[in-house]
Amino acid sequence: MIPRNRRFLRAGGHWTIRRGMGHIQPARQKAHPMARRKKLYEGKAKILYEGPEPSTLVQYFKDDATAFNAEKRATIEGKGVLNNRLSEFFMTGLANIGVPTHFIKRLNMREQLIRQVEIIPLEVIVRNFAAGSMSKRLGLEEGTPLPRPIVEFSYKDDALGDPLVPEEYIMAFGWATQQDLDDIVALALRVNDYLSGVMYGVGIKLVDFKIEIGRVWDNDYMRLIVADEISPDSCRLWDIETGAHLDKDVFRRDLGSLTDAYTEVARRLGVLPTNVTHATKPTPIN
Ligand code: 5GP
């Protein structure tokens, strides 16, 4: 039996003993300054924590890599640090040309502050050249130029292997309306133009990429914004001169060091952190 004057309080994940408390205070109001934030979601490559303000989250980039629906797994030291920097670079560039994104600011080596969104359960894939699943499906040689950028949608469901879905399914199941889809395609093509240009400028061909889109509300007005991440984990990037893969296919296909590939992309873009292997813990910011 705990004496009445010794109460256990849960403060940001830590149990603490407070003496002489007349009542138990809500943990969130009196969070310990060193307390970890509340974890809301853990995915394959990222963790989402509660943010310091309403409608914000902290996105933490892990070093974990998975492929083939998580059948292949590894921890690649420094990947999270590189993806945090690269996603910051691309999201900031998009904001600068008027494409709305969830990115607010980078907090440290592995974390960024983002707007909380309601994720539309679709992977929005844009392709400029045939590769990956499109090459398999259509028997096209990888690298074949496409007649125009092609936007396709997969339903985000790991258990089902993120199946390709037609627009008819998306509207029938209520994941997005026709108007949403028109806006998503327009956003995806703007992202494609921006990313293709930036990558071309540093000698890299943007073969294809995946983005995710989230809904945010400003009062009653709903907007669609780019969410999740943009990094070599979610793009196919080929060196224009040599054709070398500088993206997650290096891991998927055992083509060498993933860290070296991502570091090369970061170096060319001028966003190389000084020490990519320095592991940081989530920093309390609230
Ligand atoms: P594919 O359909 O050819 O496998 O992938 C097309 C593009 O979308 C590639 O750039 C690939 O990296 C990206 N992509 C597709 N599914 C996923 C996914 O579940 N996670 C990530 N990070 N990227 C994906």
Q: Which atom of ligand 1 is nearest to the CA of 233?
A: 22
Compute, in angstroms, the gap from residue 210 CA to the centroid of ligand 1: 6
Between 10 and 260, the more confident residue is: 260
Compute, in angstroms, the gap from residue 194 CA to the centroid of ligand 1: 19
Compute, in angstroms, the gap from residue 49 CA to the centroid of ligand 1: 24
Q: Which atom of ligand 1 is nearest to the CA of 235?
A: 10
Mean local confidence (pLDDT), 219-226: 95
Residue of 86, 125, 229 best suited for mutating to test ligand 1, as the one with most atoms within 8 Å of CB: 125
Tell me how far apart the alpha carbons of residues 265 and 79 are, in angstroms, rounded to a whole number. 12
Indicate the pLDDT class of residue 8, thresholds 50, 70 and 90. very low
Tell me the pairing of strands 145-155 and 56-61: unpaired
Compute, in angstroms, the gap from residue 209 CA to the centroid of ligand 1: 6
Protein residue with its CA nearest to atom 24 in ligand 1: 234
Protein residue with its CA nearest to atom 16 in ligand 1: 210
Residues 177-219 pLDDT 10s: 999 999 999 999 999 999 999 999 999 999 999 999 999 998 8
Residues 142-156 pLDDT 10s: 999 999 999 999 999
Note whether 97 and 114 are within 8 A (CB).
no
b/e code 144-163 from CB counts within 10 Å (16+ = b): eeeeebebbbbbbeeeeebe
**pLDDT at residue number 36:** 67
Q: Which atom of ligand 1 is nearest to the CA of 229?
A: 22
Note whether 216 and 176 are within 8 A (CB).
no
Tell me how far apart the alpha carbons of residues 239 and 99 are, in angstroms, rounded to a whole number. 26
What single string gives the DSSP state of each residue in 9-31?
A: EEETTEEEEEES-SSPPPTTTT-
Compute, in angstroms, the gap from residue 121 CA to the centroid of ligand 1: 14
pLDDT of 282 > 90? The answer is: no
Residue of 82, 234, 250 best suited for mutating to test ligand 1, as the one with most atoms within 8 Å of CB: 234
Compute, in angstroms, the gap from residue 281 CA to the centroid of ligand 1: 28
Compute, in angstroms, the gap from residue 164 CA to the centroid of ligand 1: 11
Helix (H) or strand (E) holding 14: strand 14-19
Q: Which atom of ligand 1 is nearest to the CA of 208?
A: 10
**pLDDT at residue number 30:** 44
pLDDT of 13 > 60? The answer is: no
Compute, in angstroms, the gap from residue 233 CA to the centroid of ligand 1: 8
Q: Which residues line ligand 1 (CB under 6 A)?
A: 123, 125, 131-134, 162, 208-210, 233-236, 248
Half-sphere exposure in the Cβ direction for 175 (13 Å, CA): 23
